[in-house]
Amino acid sequence: MLALPSGTRLYQQYRIDRALRRDQNLRYLATDERQGQTVLIDEFFPAGSRRLGNLVILPSNSAGARDAWAQQAATWQGPELPGRRTVQLTFEQHGTTYAVLSLPDGTTLRSDVQRRGRWIPGDVQTLLEQLQPVLSVLGPAAGLVTPDSVTLTPDGPMLDLTATPTSPAYQAPEHLRGETLDTWAAVAYSLGATLSFALSGQDPPGPAQLALGIPLPTPPVGTPDTLVRIMTACLAPVPAGRPAQSNLLGAPTGPVVTTSRSAVKVVRAHGSWVTHVLLHGSQIISAGADLSIRVTSVGGEALQRLDGLRGQPTGLTMRPEGLVAADTAGWLHLWRGHQLSSVQGSERTTHMTAYGDDQVLTVTSGMNLTLWNTSPMRPLGAQRAGDQVITAVQALTNRMIVVGTARGEVMVVHPDQGTVTPLLPPERRDAIRAFATDGRDVYFASGHAVLKVGQPQPMLTLDAPVSALQVLPDSQVIVAAGRHIFVRDQAGTVTELYAAQHEIHCLTTTADWIVAGTQAGELILCPTPTTDSNSPSILHGQ
Tally of CB atoms within 10 A around 299: 10
Which helix (H) or strand (E) segment holds residue 226: the answer is helix 225-234
Confidence at residue 538, expressed as pLDDT on a 0 to 100 scale = 37
Label residue 465 by pLDDT band (50, 70, 90): very high
Whether residue 363 contacts residue 352, with contact meaning beta carbons closer than 8 Å, is answered with: yes
Structure confidence by residue, pLDDT tens digits, 261-288: 347 888 888 877 899 999 998 899 999 9
Can you say whether the dihedral through the CA atoms of 375, 378, 383, 384 is positive or negative?
positive
- Any bridge partners for residue 276, and if so which? 287
Percent of residues, the chain, with pLDDT higher than 90: 34
Which helix (H) or strand (E) segment holds residue 233: the answer is helix 225-234
CA distance between the termini of the chain? 84
Q: How many residues does this entry show for the chain?
A: 542
Confidence at residue 57, expressed as pLDDT on a 0 to 100 scale = 93
Sheet holding 14-22, edge to edge: 9-10, 14-22, 25-32, 37-44, 96-102, 87-93
Confidence at residue 450, expressed as pLDDT on a 0 to 100 scale = 94
- Any bridge partners for residue 100, and if so which? 41, 89
The single-letter code of the amino acid at 30 is: A
pLDDT at 163 over 70: no
Structure confidence by residue, pLDDT tens digits, 478-520: 999 999 999 998 888 888 888 888 899 999 998 889 999 998 8
Residue by residue, DSSP assigns 262-318 as: TTEEEEE--SS-EEEEEEETTEEEEEETTS-EEEEETTS-EEEEE---SSSEEEEEE
pLDDT at 469 over 60: yes
Position with higher pLDDT, 504 vs 39:
504
Q: If you average pLDDT over every residue of the chain, what do you get?
A: 84
Q: At a CB cut-off of 8 Å and minimum separation 6, what does 441 contact?
A: 452, 453, 454, 471, 475
- Any bridge partners for residue 36, and if so which? none
Confidence at residue 485, expressed as pLDDT on a 0 to 100 scale = 93
Whether residue 288 contacts residue 272, with contact meaning beta carbons closer than 8 Å, is answered with: yes
| Opening angle at CA 267, ends 264 and 269, nearest 5 | 155
pLDDT at 413 over 60: yes
- State how far the Cα of 106 lies from the Cα of 28, in Å rounded to an integer: 17
pLDDT at 16 over 90: yes
pLDDT at 153 over 90: no
- Bin 439: left if φ > 0, else alpha if -120 < ψ < 50, else beta: left
449-452 vs 460-461, strand pairing mode: antiparallel
pLDDT at 21 over 80: no
pLDDT at 164 over 80: no
- Bin 492: left if φ > 0, else alpha if -120 < ψ < 50, else beta: left
- State how far the Cα of 375 lies from the Cα of 530, in Å rounded to an integer: 39
Structure confidence by residue, pLDDT tens digits, 330-358: 999 999 877 889 999 888 999 999 988 88
Reduced to 3 states (helix: H, G, I; strand: E, B; else coil), residue 541 is: coil
pLDDT at 82 over 50: no
Confidence at residue 275, expressed as pLDDT on a 0 to 100 scale = 94
- State how far the Cα of 352 lies from the Cα of 357, in Å rounded to an integer: 15
Structure confidence by residue, pLDDT tens digits, 198-254: 999 999 999 888 888 888 888 886 677 788 889 999 999 899 889 998 888 864 333
Confidence at residue 105, expressed as pLDDT on a 0 to 100 scale = 62
Residue 429 CB-half CA count within 13 A:
24
- State how far the Cα of 246 lies from the Cα of 135, in Å rounded to an integer: 9
Question: 355 vs 99, 126, 370, 450, CA distance in Å?
Answer: 56, 32, 11, 24
Confidence at residue 166, expressed as pLDDT on a 0 to 100 scale = 59
State pTM to two decimals: 0.54
Label residue 387 by pLDDT band (50, 70, 90): confident
**Least confident segment among 55-59, 135-139, 416-420, 526-530:** 416-420
Alpha helices in 429-536 (DSSP H): none
Label residue 165 by pLDDT band (50, 70, 90): low
